[in-house]
Structure 1
Amino acid sequence: MPPETPTSVELVTEGLLLEVVTAGAAIRRLVVTDDTGETNVVLGHADPMTYAVDGGYLGATIGRFGNRIAGARFTLDGTTHVLAANENGNALHGGLEGFDRREWTVLDRGPQHVRLALHSADGDQGFPGALDATVTYSVQPGAVRIDYTATADRDTVVNLTNHTYFNLDGEGSGPVDAHELRLSADAFTPTDAQLLPTGELRDVTGTAFDLRRATRLGEVLAADDEQLVFGQGLDHNFVVSGVGARHVASLRGASGRTLELHSDQPGVQVYTGAHFDGTVTGTSGTAYGPRAGIALETQGFPDAPNQPAFPSTVLRAGEVHSSTTTWRLGRER
């Protein structure tokens, strides 16, 4: 059967318009209105049907497990679970048919919120337990909030995130090299050449990964560091300082537009979009080249099911996984 045509839902508040499509529960547009006019600050596909066929994670809700699981397998309570491998023998973003490739159901919607749901059967992509997930997008002046929940009937693992790429100078305006990024992170999780974490929590002090002060992305990417070679730029999980809802990241474009990101998750994957090669056409009709946007994915740590020293991503049967991420948008003159 051909895929369903996704439904588009627009949420509107003063100064913001957020467009969500039901395929992948994905964010397609985030239009900011300020003294310069209207600017879409996220990357999205020109054709909404692309999300139903192969959205390439653009703006999507990622699950059942965001990021990578080494060897596409993990052991939970003595039982090994073999997953659907989709990247170099590893499982990335939930496997071959992750949540980004599913049609989500709209449970509830209003002018400023939409709540979507997805049922994932026991054994889906190799994961144990039937899992029910929801994601709620809501807007208010200057802010977008994303709330996730998940429950399962068997012990399992879960790591839900959002894969929006930001370009605060405007979607289709070119590389984000001139953006400045600040992170509340004293450490990051280095990887091997396959971008799998080694298990180390490395202090950022004295490295290109010290983003505790606002740093131009072009400067970071020009640094001589093997980790940047592995990721063709930044494609790394940072250890967010503190616990609970707190500051994760601040991003500033050359335009002066700003993003403040807060979350209760232990990590944030920072990815500077090296893979864009002109084959994806954006909502403005522009082909996306390398570094057309930066993803800031609040998350549990990659490969956590195989790394006992990392924060647990186990969801026990009958318990509720919940997390919240907020984006606050503004403009400095």
Structure 2
Amino acid sequence: MPEIFGHLPDGRAVERVTLQNGVLRLNLLTLGAIVQDMRLHGVDHPLVLGADSLAPYLGSMQYFGAMVGRYANRIAQGVFALDGQKYHLSRNALGRHCLHGGQQGSAARLWSIADLQADRAVFKLTLPDGEMGFPGTLNVLLCIALRASALEFDIRATCDRDTVCNFSHHGFFILDDSGSLAHHRLQIDANSYLPVDDDQIPTGEIAPVAGSRLDFRAPRNLDGAALDHNFCLSNTRTAMRPVARLDSALSGLGLQMETTEPGLQVYTANHLPKPDARGLGGRHYGRHAGIALEAQVWPDAPNQPSFPSPVLRPGDTYHQKTRYVFSRP
């Protein structure tokens, strides 16, 4: 049954629900469909970065574990054109760009619980036409489920006007209790990535990873690696397939990521530490305390015709599936 986790400044209650299947245990919040805590049976430490109270999620941890959208990542200058019409969006990144759907994107919204079972929860959200500048009413249905040793996200959305749609789970994972990624190795099935400017906006170039510091086609240690890049997995949405693997030499735990999406944003929490980022069990989250593996359409795709299309039209259904599969030594 849902329990009260805290209250927003306007008095609305944020609820928490718990899913478990004997292998994994998961706490979810109605705010942003946040994964607040996640545990593997027999392992003492959490597998994600989270907070024990609501306050950090209203501050510097606003995206930790959240489902971000209606357009995950960045749209340059907070503007894009669709069918000859220009749309001006919420500019919540550096005062210049739209990030994760704007100031009141899906991470800042209260989702309603449509169905709740022992090992899965279904959340609903309606994003109105014109909110944050985006066209079209967007109706979103999100199923978060535990499947054996896997955490699975199945998200669908429909619209009543031509719009753009791109959701992503923004969880930070860590597979040991060291407080950093120093003992982790990462492998990504991507031959190219998107170079960005100083504002993290793609330049439009699609560059090969070969010969660069972003070549993770073979497993590489993450000690000191500062990443915030989109890896190009494909040119369009595909069938579910493995795209990345994370392992900790310290704990022996592993994580395989599978998705339908054409892009993978990898972010190593370069912005930490923050004074209010007090973590689970009182943990202090420092630089590179966790890694976000965000399945998505490529950033700024509404302004880049050569990128995979994020356009959603009436009568069509946006459908993304992403799965994180955990393994033991």
Please confirm whether the aligned pair reaches a TM-score higher than 0.5, indicating the same fold: yes
Task: Determine the C-alpha separation between the residues in 2 that align with 1:8 and 1:218.
Answer: 34
Counterpart secondary structure, 1:284:
helix
In the alignment, what sits opposite 1:95? 102
Counterpart secondary structure, 2:166:
coil
Task: Determine the C-alpha separation between the residues in 2 that align with 1:116 and 1:251.
Answer: 28
Task: Determine the C-alpha separation between the residues in 2 that align with 1:54 and 1:291.
Answer: 15
Task: Determine the C-alpha separation between the residues in 1 that align with 2:17 and 2:308.
Answer: 35
Does residue 310 of structure 2 align to residue 299 of structure 1? Answer: no
The percent identity for this pair of structures is 38
Amino acid at match of 2:187: R
Q: Could you tell me which of 260, 264, 267 is aligned with 1:268? A: 264
Q: Could you tell me which of 4, 23, 38 is aligned with 1:15? A: 23
Amino acid at match of 1:206: G
In the alignment, what sits opposite 2:231? 238
Q: Deviations over 1:215-243 (max 9, x none)?
A: 00126x2xxxxxxxxxxx20000011583
Does residue 112 of structure 2 align to residue 105 of structure 1? Answer: yes
In the alignment, what sits opposite 1:315? 312
Task: Determine the C-alpha separation between the residues in 2 that align with 1:62 and 1:149.
Answer: 14
For 1:216-295, what aligned pairs fall within 5 Å after superposition? 216-218=221-223, 221=225, 233-241=226-234, 243-253=238-248, 254-279=250-275, 280-295=277-292
Cα distance, 1:318 vs structure 2:
2.2
Cα distance, 1:15 vs structure 2:
1.7
For 1:1-333, what aligned pairs fall within 5 Å after superposition? 2-34=10-42, 37-48=43-54, 50-51=56-57, 55-88=61-94, 89-170=96-177, 173-218=178-223, 221=225, 233-241=226-234, 243-253=238-248, 254-279=250-275, 280-332=277-329
Task: Determine the C-alpha separation between the residues in 2 that align with 1:187 and 1:177.
Answer: 24
Q: Structure 1 residues 331 and 216 mapped into 2: Cα distance closer, same or farther (>3 Å)?
A: same
Once the two structures are overlaid, the 10-residue window that deviates more, 100-109 or 284-293, is 284-293
Q: Deviations over 1:59-86 (max 9, x none)?
A: 0000110000000000001000000101
Task: Determine the C-alpha separation between the residues in 1 that align with 2:145 and 2:169.
Answer: 14
Cα distance, 1:87 vs structure 2:
1.0
Flag structure 2 segments of 5+ consecutive residues without an equivalent: 1-8
Counterpart secondary structure, 2:121:
strand
> Would you identify which runs of 4 or more consecutive aligned residues in structure 1 move more than 6 Å?
none
Amino acid at match of 1:149: R
Contact kept in structure 2, 1:106 and 1:115, CA below 8 Å: yes
Amino acid at match of 1:123: G
Q: Structure 1 residues 317 and 7 mapped into 2: Cα distance closer, same or farther (>3 Å)?
A: same
Counterpart secondary structure, 1:125:
helix
Q: Deviations over 1:28-60 (max 9, x none)?
A: 1110123xx333110011203543677420000
Superposed CA RMSD in Å reads: 1.4
Q: Deviations over 1:260-292 (max 9, x none)?
A: 000000000000001111420111111211111
Amino acid at match of 1:194: D
Cα distance, 1:3 vs structure 2:
4.1
Counterpart secondary structure, 1:194:
coil
Task: Determine the C-alpha separation between the residues in 1 that align with 2:134 and 2:217.
Answer: 36
Counterpart secondary structure, 1:65:
coil
Flag structure 1 segments of 5+ consecutive residues without an equivalent: 222-232
Q: Structure 1 residues 52 and 318 mapped into 2: Cα distance closer, same or farther (>3 Å)?
A: farther
In the alignment, what sits opposite 2:3? none
Once the two structures are overlaid, the 10-residue window that deviates more, 43-52 or 275-284, is 43-52
Q: Deviations over 1:133-180 (max 9, x none)?
A: 12110002211110001111000001000000001103xx31112210
Task: Determine the C-alpha separation between the residues in 2 that align with 1:122 and 1:82.
Answer: 13
